[in-house]
């Protein structure tokens, strides 16, 4: 079946961090405490808010208190703002949209970061529709995430291609019946173009 829509992940596919966030987080940990475990604790605390089931700001505050971190909450949260969209990736999305193929953002984000992407930086202007996990109430790689999206865009899964840098998410999309491929910006945009061409998209 012809591909009628492409779902693009955000982090690693159309945007990248502008700071070594892990090193920045680890530098906040009091001396003598395992900084790596602190970062893992923060990442785990984020998961419920990514699925829209908790408040991210409150979760981070609880972790900072648990680890006796004195870095101000707003300073830590600021690390989640340190990212930029790749202009060439966005240009490629616009090129694909111009051919009539639906291009949608499909990303795992908590509401704090969704507000930055969607409200402050107007990511929605680059896509036909945007699907944030915190709004859907389910996150990748759960196949239900993808089933919710294909129902919303009213297409059969076999008419949709999903592109993500995380193999687990690719596997989840395939389980839901979508075509799915792994790609990271570090591979270069020519590889993404070739990937799209392999599905009969772009020239």
Identify the CA nearest to 69 among candidates 99, 100, 33.
33
> Looking at the domain assignment, is residue 56 inside a domain?
yes
Domain-embedded: residue 53: yes
- DSSP class of residue 159 equals G
Q: Is 202 left (phi over 0), alpha (psi -120 to 50) or beta?
A: left
pTM score, whole prediction: 0.96
Of 65, 81, 97, the position where a domain reaches its end is 81
Question: Which residue range(s) make up the domain with 30?
Answer: 21-81
Same domain? 107 vs 71: no
What is the predicted pLDDT for the residue at 116?
Answer: 97
Give me the tens of pLDDT residue by residue for the chain, a chain 203 residues long.
699 999 999 999 999 999 999 999 999 999 899 999 999 999 999 999 999 999 999 999 999 999 999 999 999 999 999 999 999 999 999 999 999 999 999 999 999 999 999 999 999 999 999 999 999 999 999 999 999 999 999 999 999 999 999 999 999 999 999 999 999 999 999 999 999 999 999 98
The CATH number of whichever domain residue 115 belongs to comes to: 3.40.50.1000
């Amino acid at each position: 079946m012809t591909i009628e829509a492409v779902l693009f992940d955000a982090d690693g596919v159309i945007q990248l961090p502008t700071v070594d966030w892990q090193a920045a987080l680890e530098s906040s940990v009091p001396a003598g405490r395992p900084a790596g475990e602190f970062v893992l604790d923060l990442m785990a605390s984020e998961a419920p808010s990514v699925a829209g089931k908790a408040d991210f700001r409150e979760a981070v505050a609880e972790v900072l208190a648990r680890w006796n971190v004195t870095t101000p909450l707003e300073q830590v949260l600021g690390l989640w703002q340190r990212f930029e969209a790749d202009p060439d990736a966005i240009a490629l999305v616009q090129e694909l949209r111009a051919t009539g193929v639906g291009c949608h953002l499909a990303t795992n984000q908590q509401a704090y970061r969704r507000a930055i992407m969607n409200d402050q930086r107007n990511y929605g202007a680059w896509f036909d529709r945007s699907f944030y996990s915190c709004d859907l109430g389910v996150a990748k790689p759960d196949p239900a995430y993808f089933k919710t999206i294909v129902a919303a865009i009213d297409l059969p899964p076999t008419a949709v291609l999903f592109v993500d840098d995380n193999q687990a998410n690719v596997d989840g999309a395939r389980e839901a019946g979508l075509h799915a491929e792994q790609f990271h910006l570090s591979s270069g945009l020519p590889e993404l173009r070739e990937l799209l061409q392999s599905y009969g998209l772009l020239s």
